[in-house]
Amino acid sequence: MNVKVTFLGTGAGTPGKGRFLPSILVDDGPRKILMDAGEGAQYRLNELGISPLRITHILITHLHGDHVFGLPGLLATMALLDRRTELTLIGPVGIASMVKGLAEFIDGSQFPLRIIELSDEEGEAYVDGDFSIRYALARHSITDYAYTLVWRTAVGKFNPERAMKMEIPVNYWKRLQMGEPVLLPDGRVINPQDVVDVRSSGILKIVYTGDTAPTERVINLAKDAQLLIHDSTFSASEDAEVVWRQGHSRSVDAARVARDANVGELVLTHISNRYADPNTLAWEAAEVFPQVIAARDLLTIEVQG
């Protein structure tokens, strides 16, 4: 499967010329997931020709304004457009009261809104068939959750002739193609490799940290992910202890997390406006982890699994 990741905003703190505040759109076909809703998110969606009505999930990492002040406008537009389908909103404790406080200022019909508030250090926030959202507490100045989006996909090409020869009932075929061993009613255990040309792990993972200093929890969350999107507010030239106390990372910090988590690709984001050319941060990070790029607004990456 292919998942499209588009960076709507990649800045930090305040918007800059050509660099809006944090927001990322993840599109897997049936779902359009917004990770953070910084100022300008709705404008960027409009540039892409995507109606807010098509957003199915919004994940908020934390309640600092640069990550959440685009949410009121999005919800207001959804209401004005007479949204009827359910929207799932996930975030830290406080997101529900924030939305409740906005209600009296939002005109139009109220649409179904499912709010999931997170309070544990880590866990599973959402499951829908072969798709799930997990989270872990990051390392910031306030409660901030890193998210991993996980899709279970086919591990390879299924061999129906082999399956029929082995007299495996059809209702077990999908589970085998998704990489799951099965126990048949006759007591036989069938492994995926018995009927599938296994080509991959069958797991596609995309991880987004929000704002964070380097932390083992993010490394564990990002293990073997195809894509890690990590806070890179500052250059390697900044004092590490000062940056970490602020709950942020430098380019090389993000690279070390990517290396230790064995991810496929690293994207640096939440980049301070003090850096006119974000590629300088990517060059620094590449000394530690070569598969790295610096995000720019409207950059799109396709992730395959």
Give the catalytic positions in this structure. Answer: 66
In angstroms, the CA 76 to CA 66 distance is 18
DSSP-derived secondary structure letter, 16: B
Residue 197: how many other CB atoms lie within 10 Å: 12
Q: Which two tokens stand for residue 148?
A: 């991993």
Nearest to 228 by CA among 252, 200, 264, 201: 264
Between CA 291 and CA 228 the distance in angstroms is 11
- Residues 209 and 218: their CA atoms lie apart, in Å, by 7
Q: Which amino acid is at 146?
A: A
Give which of 44, 64, 148, 58 is closest to 111, Cα–Cα. 58
Q: Burial of 75 by CB count in 10 Å (0-12 exposed, 13-18 middle, 19+ buried)?
A: buried
Task: Name the DSSP letter for residue 109.
Answer: P
40 vs 60: CA distance, rounded Å: 15
255 CB-near residues (< 8 Å, 6+ apart): 266, 284, 285, 286, 287, 288, 289, 292
